[in-house]
Structure 1
Amino acid sequence: MAEDAQKNIGTWYIDPDAEDRMADGHAPIWRHLIGLILERDLTDKSVLDFGCNQGGLLRHLYAIRPFRKALGIDIAETSIAKAETLKGNLPIQHQVGGRLEGWAEEFDLAISHEVIYLVPDIDSHASEIWRALKPGGVYYAVTGCHTDNPLWPKWRELVANRTNTVVQDRSITDYGRAFEKAGFDVSARKLEYDGFIPFVADGWTPDFADALNYYTQTKIVFRLVKR
Protein backbone atom coordinates (compact mmCIF):
# COMPACT_ATOMS: atom_id res chain seq x y z
CA MET A 1 0.00 0.00 0.00
CA ALA A 2 1.29 3.43 -0.81
CA GLU A 3 2.04 5.54 2.25
CA ASP A 4 -0.59 8.12 1.32
CA ALA A 5 -3.19 5.62 0.12
CA GLN A 6 -4.51 4.49 3.49
CA LYS A 7 -4.45 7.13 6.20
CA ASN A 8 -4.84 6.38 9.90
CA ILE A 9 -8.36 6.87 11.22
CA GLY A 10 -9.98 7.03 14.68
CA THR A 11 -12.40 4.13 14.30
CA TRP A 12 -13.62 2.04 11.40
CA TYR A 13 -17.27 2.88 11.99
CA ILE A 14 -18.58 6.44 12.07
CA ASP A 15 -20.71 5.34 15.04
CA PRO A 16 -18.04 4.35 17.63
CA ASP A 17 -20.48 2.12 19.53
CA ALA A 18 -20.70 -0.07 16.42
CA GLU A 19 -17.13 -1.23 17.10
CA ASP A 20 -18.22 -3.10 20.23
CA ARG A 21 -21.28 -4.56 18.52
CA MET A 22 -19.12 -5.76 15.64
CA ALA A 23 -16.70 -7.51 18.01
CA ASP A 24 -19.57 -9.31 19.76
CA GLY A 25 -21.02 -10.44 16.44
CA HIS A 26 -17.69 -11.65 15.08
CA ALA A 27 -16.73 -13.74 18.12
CA PRO A 28 -18.44 -17.00 17.02
CA ILE A 29 -17.15 -16.48 13.47
CA TRP A 30 -13.62 -16.08 14.80
CA ARG A 31 -13.92 -19.32 16.77
CA HIS A 32 -15.16 -21.14 13.68
CA LEU A 33 -12.29 -19.70 11.64
CA ILE A 34 -9.74 -20.81 14.21
CA GLY A 35 -11.13 -24.32 13.86
CA LEU A 36 -10.38 -24.19 10.11
CA ILE A 37 -6.73 -23.23 10.53
CA LEU A 38 -4.67 -26.29 9.66
CA GLU A 39 -1.72 -25.28 11.84
CA ARG A 40 -2.72 -26.83 15.15
CA ASP A 41 0.22 -26.20 17.50
CA LEU A 42 1.18 -22.52 17.68
CA THR A 43 3.08 -22.64 20.97
CA ASP A 44 6.38 -21.65 19.34
CA LYS A 45 4.89 -19.55 16.52
CA SER A 46 4.59 -15.82 15.89
CA VAL A 47 1.28 -14.52 14.56
CA LEU A 48 0.19 -11.39 12.68
CA ASP A 49 -3.38 -10.07 12.66
CA PHE A 50 -3.60 -7.50 9.88
CA GLY A 51 -6.49 -5.12 10.51
CA CYS A 52 -6.92 -6.32 14.09
CA ASN A 53 -9.38 -3.60 15.16
CA GLN A 54 -9.83 -4.04 18.95
CA GLY A 55 -7.72 -7.21 19.04
CA GLY A 56 -10.50 -9.70 19.67
CA LEU A 57 -9.40 -12.29 17.11
CA LEU A 58 -5.91 -12.59 18.62
CA ARG A 59 -7.33 -12.93 22.13
CA HIS A 60 -9.67 -15.69 20.95
CA LEU A 61 -6.82 -17.41 19.11
CA TYR A 62 -4.58 -17.36 22.18
CA ALA A 63 -7.35 -18.84 24.35
CA ILE A 64 -7.82 -21.73 21.91
CA ARG A 65 -4.30 -22.19 20.47
CA PRO A 66 -1.72 -20.29 22.51
CA PHE A 67 1.10 -18.71 20.48
CA ARG A 68 4.57 -17.47 21.41
CA LYS A 69 3.94 -13.85 20.40
CA ALA A 70 1.73 -11.78 18.12
CA LEU A 71 1.39 -8.41 16.44
CA GLY A 72 -1.96 -6.76 15.80
CA ILE A 73 -1.83 -3.87 13.35
CA ASP A 74 -4.63 -1.52 12.32
CA ILE A 75 -5.06 2.00 10.93
CA ALA A 76 -7.77 2.79 13.53
CA GLU A 77 -6.00 4.58 16.38
CA THR A 78 -8.83 4.42 18.94
CA SER A 79 -9.35 0.73 18.23
CA ILE A 80 -5.66 -0.04 18.78
CA ALA A 81 -5.72 1.87 22.08
CA LYS A 82 -8.64 -0.26 23.24
CA ALA A 83 -6.89 -3.45 22.07
CA GLU A 84 -3.94 -2.53 24.28
CA THR A 85 -6.16 -2.09 27.32
CA LEU A 86 -7.94 -5.41 26.69
CA LYS A 87 -4.89 -7.64 26.07
CA GLY A 88 -3.91 -7.97 29.72
CA ASN A 89 -0.73 -10.03 30.06
CA LEU A 90 -1.03 -11.77 26.71
CA PRO A 91 2.13 -11.76 24.53
CA ILE A 92 0.59 -9.37 22.01
CA GLN A 93 1.97 -6.14 20.61
CA HIS A 94 -0.26 -3.62 18.83
CA GLN A 95 0.74 -1.07 16.22
CA VAL A 96 -1.12 1.73 14.48
CA GLY A 97 -0.74 1.80 10.71
CA GLY A 98 -1.12 -0.21 7.55
CA ARG A 99 2.50 -0.92 6.67
CA LEU A 100 4.78 -3.76 7.76
CA GLU A 101 8.25 -2.23 7.47
CA GLY A 102 10.70 -3.79 9.88
CA TRP A 103 8.90 -7.12 10.08
CA ALA A 104 10.67 -9.10 7.34
CA GLU A 105 10.34 -12.90 7.73
CA GLU A 106 8.98 -12.40 11.25
CA PHE A 107 5.71 -14.37 11.28
CA ASP A 108 4.76 -18.01 10.92
CA LEU A 109 1.06 -17.26 10.58
CA ALA A 110 -0.90 -14.22 9.41
CA ILE A 111 -4.65 -13.63 9.57
CA SER A 112 -7.02 -10.95 8.35
CA HIS A 113 -10.78 -10.95 8.79
CA GLU A 114 -12.88 -8.69 6.56
CA VAL A 115 -9.99 -6.35 5.82
CA ILE A 116 -8.62 -7.06 2.35
CA TYR A 117 -11.66 -5.59 0.61
CA LEU A 118 -10.72 -2.19 2.06
CA VAL A 119 -7.01 -2.32 1.15
CA PRO A 120 -6.38 0.28 -1.57
CA ASP A 121 -3.54 -1.60 -3.32
CA ILE A 122 -4.04 -5.35 -3.05
CA ASP A 123 -0.82 -6.12 -4.94
CA SER A 124 1.27 -4.14 -2.45
CA HIS A 125 -0.59 -5.72 0.45
CA ALA A 126 0.07 -9.22 -0.87
CA SER A 127 3.77 -8.43 -1.32
CA GLU A 128 4.07 -6.96 2.18
CA ILE A 129 2.45 -9.97 3.80
CA TRP A 130 4.72 -12.26 1.74
CA ARG A 131 7.82 -10.41 2.99
CA ALA A 132 6.58 -10.44 6.60
CA LEU A 133 6.08 -14.22 6.62
CA LYS A 134 8.83 -16.74 7.19
CA PRO A 135 9.48 -19.23 4.35
CA GLY A 136 6.56 -21.65 4.40
CA GLY A 137 4.47 -19.21 6.43
CA VAL A 138 0.72 -19.14 5.90
CA TYR A 139 -1.76 -16.26 5.50
CA TYR A 140 -5.48 -16.83 6.10
CA ALA A 141 -7.39 -13.92 4.52
CA VAL A 142 -11.16 -13.96 5.03
CA THR A 143 -13.77 -11.86 3.25
CA GLY A 144 -17.32 -12.01 2.01
CA CYS A 145 -17.10 -8.49 0.58
CA HIS A 146 -16.36 -9.20 -3.04
CA THR A 147 -18.14 -8.59 -6.31
CA ASP A 148 -19.26 -12.24 -6.48
CA ASN A 149 -21.45 -11.53 -3.45
CA PRO A 150 -24.98 -10.83 -4.76
CA LEU A 151 -25.47 -8.32 -1.93
CA TRP A 152 -22.38 -6.33 -2.86
CA PRO A 153 -24.05 -3.49 -4.85
CA LYS A 154 -26.10 -2.63 -1.75
CA TRP A 155 -23.37 -3.35 0.76
CA ARG A 156 -20.75 -1.15 -0.87
CA GLU A 157 -23.06 1.82 -0.32
CA LEU A 158 -23.60 0.85 3.32
CA VAL A 159 -19.86 0.48 3.89
CA ALA A 160 -19.22 3.87 2.31
CA ASN A 161 -21.92 5.54 4.43
CA ARG A 162 -21.26 3.81 7.76
CA THR A 163 -17.47 3.64 7.90
CA ASN A 164 -14.44 5.90 7.65
CA THR A 165 -13.00 3.87 4.78
CA VAL A 166 -12.83 3.74 1.00
CA VAL A 167 -14.50 0.69 -0.55
CA GLN A 168 -12.72 -1.39 -3.21
CA ASP A 169 -14.41 -3.57 -5.86
CA ARG A 170 -12.68 -6.93 -6.38
CA SER A 171 -13.78 -10.43 -7.28
CA ILE A 172 -12.62 -13.67 -5.67
CA THR A 173 -10.49 -14.27 -8.77
CA ASP A 174 -8.92 -10.81 -8.45
CA TYR A 175 -7.70 -11.74 -4.99
CA GLY A 176 -6.40 -15.11 -6.13
CA ARG A 177 -4.41 -13.53 -8.95
CA ALA A 178 -2.92 -10.84 -6.71
CA PHE A 179 -1.73 -13.32 -4.10
CA GLU A 180 -0.37 -15.72 -6.71
CA LYS A 181 1.58 -12.90 -8.34
CA ALA A 182 3.10 -12.04 -4.96
CA GLY A 183 4.52 -15.57 -4.65
CA PHE A 184 1.89 -17.47 -2.69
CA ASP A 185 0.46 -20.89 -3.38
CA VAL A 186 -3.22 -19.96 -3.39
CA SER A 187 -6.14 -22.07 -2.23
CA ALA A 188 -9.51 -21.20 -0.73
CA ARG A 189 -12.72 -22.56 0.69
CA LYS A 190 -16.09 -21.26 1.78
CA LEU A 191 -16.28 -20.37 5.45
CA GLU A 192 -19.35 -22.61 5.80
CA TYR A 193 -20.12 -21.38 9.29
CA ASP A 194 -21.99 -24.21 11.02
CA GLY A 195 -23.42 -22.41 14.04
CA PHE A 196 -26.78 -20.76 14.54
CA ILE A 197 -26.94 -17.34 12.92
CA PRO A 198 -28.88 -14.69 14.86
CA PHE A 199 -31.45 -12.52 13.17
CA VAL A 200 -30.31 -8.89 13.34
CA ALA A 201 -32.44 -6.33 11.52
CA ASP A 202 -29.63 -3.81 11.09
CA GLY A 203 -29.84 -3.05 7.39
CA TRP A 204 -27.03 -5.35 6.26
CA THR A 205 -29.17 -8.47 5.82
CA PRO A 206 -32.79 -7.52 6.60
CA ASP A 207 -33.75 -10.60 4.59
CA PHE A 208 -32.77 -13.40 6.98
CA ALA A 209 -32.18 -15.79 4.08
CA ASP A 210 -29.40 -13.46 2.91
CA ALA A 211 -27.65 -13.76 6.27
CA LEU A 212 -27.82 -17.55 6.20
CA ASN A 213 -26.40 -17.67 2.67
CA TYR A 214 -23.70 -15.13 3.43
CA TYR A 215 -22.13 -17.02 6.34
CA THR A 216 -22.41 -20.43 4.73
CA GLN A 217 -21.89 -19.79 1.01
CA THR A 218 -20.52 -16.31 0.27
CA LYS A 219 -17.79 -15.72 2.84
CA ILE A 220 -14.43 -17.02 1.56
CA VAL A 221 -11.30 -18.15 3.44
CA PHE A 222 -8.09 -17.90 1.41
CA ARG A 223 -5.16 -20.07 2.53
CA LEU A 224 -1.97 -18.55 1.13
CA VAL A 225 1.35 -20.33 1.60
CA LYS A 226 4.64 -18.52 1.05
CA ARG A 227 6.69 -20.50 -1.41
Structure 2
Amino acid sequence: MHSSTPKISTWYIDPDAEDAMADGHAPIWRHLIGLLPEQDLSGKAVLDFGCNQGGLLRHLYAIRPFRKALGVDIAEQSIARANELKGNLPIQYQAGAHVEGWDGEFDLAISHEVIYLIADIEAHARDVWRSLKPGGVYYAVTGCHTDNPLWPKWRDLVAAKTNTVVQDRSITDYARVFEGAGFDVSARKLEFDGFIPFVADGWMPDFADALTYYTQTKVIFRLVKP
Protein backbone atom coordinates (compact mmCIF):
# COMPACT_ATOMS: atom_id res chain seq x y z
CA MET A 1 0.00 0.00 0.00
CA HIS A 2 2.47 2.60 -1.20
CA SER A 3 2.97 4.74 -4.29
CA SER A 4 3.13 1.65 -6.49
CA THR A 5 -0.10 0.28 -5.02
CA PRO A 6 -3.14 0.96 -7.22
CA LYS A 7 -6.27 2.45 -5.74
CA ILE A 8 -9.21 0.12 -5.29
CA SER A 9 -12.95 0.67 -4.99
CA THR A 10 -13.54 -1.12 -1.67
CA TRP A 11 -11.49 -3.38 0.58
CA TYR A 12 -14.01 -6.20 0.53
CA ILE A 13 -15.28 -7.73 -2.70
CA ASP A 14 -18.73 -7.62 -1.05
CA PRO A 15 -19.26 -3.89 -0.33
CA ASP A 16 -21.83 -4.70 2.40
CA ALA A 17 -19.02 -6.25 4.43
CA GLU A 18 -17.46 -2.80 4.94
CA ASP A 19 -20.14 -1.70 7.42
CA ALA A 20 -19.99 -5.02 9.27
CA MET A 21 -16.22 -4.67 9.60
CA ALA A 22 -16.57 -1.19 11.11
CA ASP A 23 -19.15 -2.41 13.62
CA GLY A 24 -16.91 -5.28 14.65
CA HIS A 25 -13.86 -3.07 15.06
CA ALA A 26 -15.57 -0.38 17.17
CA PRO A 27 -15.03 -2.06 20.60
CA ILE A 28 -11.40 -2.77 19.65
CA TRP A 29 -10.88 0.86 18.63
CA ARG A 30 -12.25 2.08 21.95
CA HIS A 31 -10.03 -0.34 23.86
CA LEU A 32 -7.01 0.75 21.83
CA ILE A 33 -7.71 4.43 22.50
CA GLY A 34 -7.89 3.65 26.21
CA LEU A 35 -4.39 2.16 26.07
CA LEU A 36 -2.73 5.20 24.50
CA PRO A 37 -0.61 7.09 27.05
CA GLU A 38 -1.17 10.31 25.08
CA GLN A 39 -4.12 11.65 27.06
CA ASP A 40 -4.50 15.23 25.81
CA LEU A 41 -4.70 15.46 22.04
CA SER A 42 -6.43 18.85 21.95
CA GLY A 43 -3.45 20.52 20.30
CA LYS A 44 -2.29 17.51 18.30
CA ALA A 45 -2.45 16.42 14.67
CA VAL A 46 -3.29 12.76 14.02
CA LEU A 47 -2.80 10.47 11.02
CA ASP A 48 -4.85 7.32 10.41
CA PHE A 49 -3.16 5.25 7.72
CA GLY A 50 -5.54 2.80 6.07
CA CYS A 51 -8.56 4.57 7.54
CA ASN A 52 -11.24 2.77 5.49
CA GLN A 53 -14.54 4.54 6.24
CA GLY A 54 -13.00 6.75 8.92
CA GLY A 55 -14.51 5.15 12.01
CA LEU A 56 -11.34 5.07 14.10
CA LEU A 57 -10.78 8.82 13.85
CA ARG A 58 -14.43 9.52 14.69
CA HIS A 59 -14.15 7.32 17.78
CA LEU A 60 -10.87 8.96 18.75
CA TYR A 61 -12.32 12.47 18.47
CA ALA A 62 -15.31 11.51 20.61
CA ILE A 63 -13.01 10.21 23.38
CA ARG A 64 -9.89 12.39 23.03
CA PRO A 65 -10.58 15.38 20.77
CA PHE A 66 -7.69 16.42 18.54
CA ARG A 67 -6.81 19.62 16.69
CA LYS A 68 -6.91 18.08 13.23
CA ALA A 69 -6.54 14.71 11.52
CA LEU A 70 -5.89 13.11 8.17
CA GLY A 71 -7.19 9.72 7.09
CA VAL A 72 -5.58 8.01 4.09
CA ASP A 73 -6.78 4.89 2.29
CA ILE A 74 -6.48 3.31 -1.15
CA ALA A 75 -10.20 2.39 -1.26
CA GLU A 76 -11.91 5.28 -3.05
CA GLN A 77 -15.50 4.40 -2.11
CA SER A 78 -14.45 4.02 1.51
CA ILE A 79 -12.91 7.50 1.48
CA ALA A 80 -16.07 8.93 -0.08
CA ARG A 81 -18.10 7.33 2.70
CA ALA A 82 -15.70 8.64 5.35
CA ASN A 83 -16.20 12.17 4.06
CA GLU A 84 -19.98 11.71 4.17
CA LEU A 85 -19.84 10.57 7.81
CA LYS A 86 -17.37 13.07 9.27
CA GLY A 87 -19.82 15.94 9.68
CA ASN A 88 -18.09 19.01 11.06
CA LEU A 89 -15.18 17.15 12.62
CA PRO A 90 -11.69 18.57 11.90
CA ILE A 91 -10.79 15.59 9.72
CA GLN A 92 -9.61 15.40 6.13
CA TYR A 93 -9.81 12.14 4.21
CA GLN A 94 -7.96 11.43 1.01
CA ALA A 95 -7.59 8.45 -1.31
CA GLY A 96 -4.02 7.39 -1.79
CA ALA A 97 -1.38 4.83 -1.01
CA HIS A 98 1.04 7.05 0.87
CA VAL A 99 1.30 10.26 2.87
CA GLU A 100 2.59 12.91 0.49
CA GLY A 101 3.12 16.58 1.28
CA TRP A 102 2.69 16.16 5.05
CA ASP A 103 6.32 16.01 6.19
CA GLY A 104 6.73 16.66 9.92
CA GLU A 105 3.02 17.34 10.30
CA PHE A 106 1.72 14.77 12.78
CA ASP A 107 2.14 14.16 16.50
CA LEU A 108 0.42 10.79 16.40
CA ALA A 109 -0.13 8.15 13.72
CA ILE A 110 -2.27 5.02 13.90
CA SER A 111 -2.92 2.05 11.65
CA HIS A 112 -5.28 -0.78 12.51
CA GLU A 113 -4.95 -4.07 10.60
CA VAL A 114 -3.22 -2.46 7.64
CA ILE A 115 0.50 -3.22 7.74
CA TYR A 116 0.07 -6.87 6.77
CA LEU A 117 -1.31 -5.73 3.40
CA ILE A 118 1.52 -3.35 2.52
CA ALA A 119 3.89 -4.87 -0.03
CA ASP A 120 6.75 -2.39 0.47
CA ILE A 121 6.72 -2.18 4.26
CA GLU A 122 10.14 -0.48 4.34
CA ALA A 123 8.80 2.36 2.19
CA HIS A 124 5.74 2.61 4.43
CA ALA A 125 7.94 2.90 7.53
CA ARG A 126 9.91 5.72 5.89
CA ASP A 127 6.66 7.36 4.78
CA VAL A 128 5.22 7.51 8.29
CA TRP A 129 8.61 8.54 9.71
CA ARG A 130 8.67 11.59 7.40
CA SER A 131 5.12 12.53 8.32
CA LEU A 132 5.78 12.59 12.07
CA LYS A 133 7.24 15.42 14.09
CA PRO A 134 10.31 14.67 16.23
CA GLY A 135 8.97 12.82 19.26
CA GLY A 136 5.93 11.69 17.29
CA VAL A 137 4.52 8.22 17.87
CA TYR A 138 3.13 5.63 15.46
CA TYR A 139 0.85 2.90 16.81
CA ALA A 140 0.64 0.03 14.32
CA VAL A 141 -1.86 -2.63 15.36
CA THR A 142 -2.17 -6.09 13.83
CA GLY A 143 -2.99 -9.68 14.62
CA CYS A 144 -2.27 -10.73 11.04
CA HIS A 145 1.23 -12.09 11.32
CA THR A 146 2.87 -15.47 10.91
CA ASP A 147 3.06 -15.95 14.70
CA ASN A 148 -0.74 -16.18 14.68
CA PRO A 149 -1.69 -19.89 14.54
CA LEU A 150 -4.78 -18.95 12.49
CA TRP A 151 -2.73 -17.20 9.83
CA PRO A 152 -2.55 -20.06 7.27
CA LYS A 153 -6.38 -20.13 7.21
CA TRP A 154 -6.79 -16.37 7.35
CA ARG A 155 -4.40 -15.51 4.55
CA ASP A 156 -6.56 -17.60 2.18
CA LEU A 157 -9.75 -15.92 3.43
CA VAL A 158 -8.27 -12.44 3.02
CA ALA A 159 -7.19 -13.27 -0.51
CA ALA A 160 -10.63 -14.66 -1.36
CA LYS A 161 -12.78 -11.98 0.27
CA THR A 162 -10.84 -8.75 -0.36
CA ASN A 163 -9.35 -6.72 -3.18
CA THR A 164 -5.90 -6.83 -1.59
CA VAL A 165 -2.65 -8.77 -1.68
CA VAL A 166 -1.61 -10.48 1.56
CA GLN A 167 1.94 -10.33 2.94
CA ASP A 168 3.58 -12.90 5.23
CA ARG A 169 5.57 -11.34 8.08
CA SER A 170 6.32 -12.19 11.69
CA ILE A 171 6.20 -9.85 14.67
CA THR A 172 10.00 -9.75 14.60
CA ASP A 173 9.99 -8.91 10.88
CA TYR A 174 7.91 -5.82 11.59
CA ALA A 175 10.08 -4.79 14.52
CA ARG A 176 13.23 -4.99 12.41
CA VAL A 177 11.72 -2.97 9.57
CA PHE A 178 10.56 -0.15 11.83
CA GLU A 179 13.85 -0.13 13.71
CA GLY A 180 15.64 0.12 10.38
CA ALA A 181 13.59 3.19 9.53
CA GLY A 182 14.85 4.90 12.68
CA PHE A 183 12.01 4.30 15.13
CA ASP A 184 12.49 3.32 18.75
CA VAL A 185 10.45 0.10 18.74
CA SER A 186 8.39 -1.40 21.54
CA ALA A 187 5.20 -3.45 21.60
CA ARG A 188 2.52 -4.98 23.77
CA LYS A 189 -0.40 -7.36 23.37
CA LEU A 190 -3.78 -5.77 22.82
CA GLU A 191 -5.19 -7.74 25.77
CA PHE A 192 -8.77 -6.76 25.00
CA ASP A 193 -10.63 -6.84 28.31
CA GLY A 194 -14.22 -6.67 27.14
CA PHE A 195 -16.68 -9.43 26.39
CA ILE A 196 -16.04 -10.95 22.97
CA PRO A 197 -19.19 -11.89 21.02
CA PHE A 198 -19.63 -15.27 19.45
CA VAL A 199 -19.82 -14.70 15.69
CA ALA A 200 -19.97 -17.66 13.31
CA ASP A 201 -18.48 -15.88 10.31
CA GLY A 202 -15.81 -18.37 9.27
CA TRP A 203 -12.83 -16.41 10.54
CA MET A 204 -12.59 -18.12 13.91
CA PRO A 205 -12.70 -21.94 13.68
CA ASP A 206 -13.58 -22.13 17.37
CA PHE A 207 -14.85 -19.59 19.91
CA ALA A 208 -11.77 -20.28 22.03
CA ASP A 209 -9.68 -19.02 19.10
CA ALA A 210 -11.47 -15.67 19.25
CA LEU A 211 -10.78 -15.31 22.97
CA THR A 212 -7.10 -16.08 22.44
CA TYR A 213 -6.78 -13.83 19.41
CA TYR A 214 -8.08 -10.64 21.02
CA THR A 215 -6.24 -11.16 24.30
CA GLN A 216 -2.95 -12.76 23.26
CA THR A 217 -2.32 -12.70 19.51
CA LYS A 218 -3.15 -9.15 18.42
CA VAL A 219 -0.25 -6.76 19.08
CA ILE A 220 0.32 -3.01 19.23
CA PHE A 221 3.64 -1.64 18.06
CA ARG A 222 4.63 1.68 19.66
CA LEU A 223 7.07 3.34 17.29
CA VAL A 224 8.67 6.58 18.44
CA LYS A 225 10.53 9.00 16.19
CA PRO A 226 13.41 10.36 18.34
TM-score grouping bracket, smaller chain normalisation: over 0.9
Query: How far is 1:98 from its partner?
Result: 1.1
1:7 and 1:80 mapped to 2: Cα distance?
Answer: 15
Structure 1 residues 62-211: aligned runs within 5 Å: 62-211=61-210
Structure-1-length-normalised TM-score: 0.98
Q: Which runs of 5+ in 1 are unaligned?
A: none
2:161 and 2:7 mapped to 1: Cα distance?
Answer: 17
Deviations along 1:149-185, one digit per CA (max 9) or x if unpaired, are 0000000000000000000000000000000000100
- Aligned counterpart, 1:35: 34
1:39 and 1:176 mapped to 2: Cα distance?
Answer: 22
Contact 1:200 1:206 in 2 (8 A): no
Query: How far is 1:143 from its partner?
Result: 0.1
1:225 and 1:162 mapped to 2: Cα distance?
Answer: 34
3-state DSSP class of the match of 2:8? coil
1:38 and 1:186 mapped to 2: Cα distance?
Answer: 15
2:40 and 2:2 mapped to 1: Cα distance?
Answer: 35
Query: How far is 1:74 from its partner?
Result: 0.1
Please tell me the root mean square deviation across aligned C-alpha atoms, in Å: 0.7
Sequence identity percentage = 80
Query: How far is 1:110 from its partner?
Result: 0.1
Query: How far is 1:3 from its partner?
Result: 2.6
Deviations along 1:180-213, one digit per CA (max 9) or x if unpaired, are 0001000000000000000110000031000000
1:94 and 1:147 mapped to 2: Cα distance?
Answer: 31
User: Which of structure 1's runs of 4+ aligned residues deviate more than 6 A?
Assistant: none
1:115 and 1:218 mapped to 2: Cα distance?
Answer: 16
- Aligned counterpart, 2:3: 3
2:2 and 2:87 mapped to 1: Cα distance?
Answer: 33
Q: Is 1:19 aligned with 2:18? A: yes
Deviations along 1:75-104, one digit per CA (max 9) or x if unpaired, are 000000000000000000001011111010
1:67 and 1:2 mapped to 2: Cα distance?
Answer: 26
Length, aligned pairs only: 226
3-state DSSP class of the match of 1:137? strand
3-state DSSP class of the match of 2:166? coil
- Aligned counterpart, 1:55: 54
3-state DSSP class of the match of 1:16? coil
Q: Residue type of the partner of 1:10?
A: S
Q: Which runs of 5+ in 2 are unaligned?
A: none
Structure-2-length-normalised TM-score: 0.99
Contact 2:49 2:111 in 1 (8 A): yes
Q: Residue type of the partner of 1:3?
A: S
1:36 and 1:161 mapped to 2: Cα distance?
Answer: 33
1:10 and 1:103 mapped to 2: Cα distance?
Answer: 24
Q: Residue type of the partner of 2:181?
A: A
Contact 1:139 1:225 in 2 (8 A): yes
1:30 and 1:42 mapped to 2: Cα distance?
Answer: 16
2:51 and 2:160 mapped to 1: Cα distance?
Answer: 21
Contact 2:54 2:82 in 1 (8 A): yes
